[in-house]
């Protein structure tokens, strides 16, 4: 697994990596991709779309089921991972690298994000419950 010490995690198994200037990269965790099984399709949002915290911003379809990707904080999509259109299995292969889903800009203060989401250590403890 990547060094995820600087990542934030949600209870819906989403990770966020801060890129600076209120920009974040979002993906699903190793646990989430493992639970989903082989991913065969992803429906991505359009750049410029805005999502509130708790809203689904993408849909991942696997051989087992379809699942919403839940935005952990509000933001505006500024980039989507076009590679996933042709190769959705990148999420299974590299959930923390080439398998990222979207990048978005958020006005949420860092303190609010840190309070709402889990650190890597907290997420590991959450998984062990």
The CATH class that applies to domain 7-108 reads: mainly beta
The rounded distance, in Å, linking the Cα atoms of 119 and 4 is 9
pLDDT score, position 28: 97
Name the one residue in this structure whose structure tokens are 């978005």.
104
Q: Which residues contact 60 (CB under 8 A, 6 or more apart)?
A: 28, 36, 39, 41, 42, 66, 67, 69, 88, 91
Beta strand 23-28 with 102-105 is antiparallel
**16 and 8 Cβ atoms separated by less than 8 Å:** yes
Q: Which residues of the chain have pLDDT under 70?
A: 1-2
In this prediction the pTM is 0.93
Question: What Å distances lie between residue 98 and 54, 63, 83, 95, 118, CA to CA?
Answer: 24, 21, 8, 7, 22
User: What SS3 state is found at 23?
Assistant: strand
pLDDT score, position 80: 98
pLDDT score, position 21: 92
**78 and 104 Cβ atoms separated by less than 8 Å:** yes
Q: Where are the domains of the chain?
A: 7-108
């Amino acid at each position: 697994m990547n060094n995820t010490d600087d990542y934030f995690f949600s209870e819906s198994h989403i990770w966020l990596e801060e890129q600076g200037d209120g920009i974040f990269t979002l993906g699903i965790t190793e646990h989430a991709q493992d639970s989903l099984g082989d991913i065969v399709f992803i429906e991505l949002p359009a750049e410029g779309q805005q999502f509130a915290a708790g809203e689904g911003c993408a849909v991942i379809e696997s051989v087992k089921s379809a699942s919403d990707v839940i935005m952990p904080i509000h933001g505006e999509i500024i980039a989507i991972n076009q590679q996933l259109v042709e190769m959705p299995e990148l999420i299974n292969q590299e959930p923390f690298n080439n398998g990222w889903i979207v990048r978005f800009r958020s006005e949420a203060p860092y303190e609010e994000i840190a309070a709402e989401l889990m650190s890597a250590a907290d997420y590991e403890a959450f998984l062990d419950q």
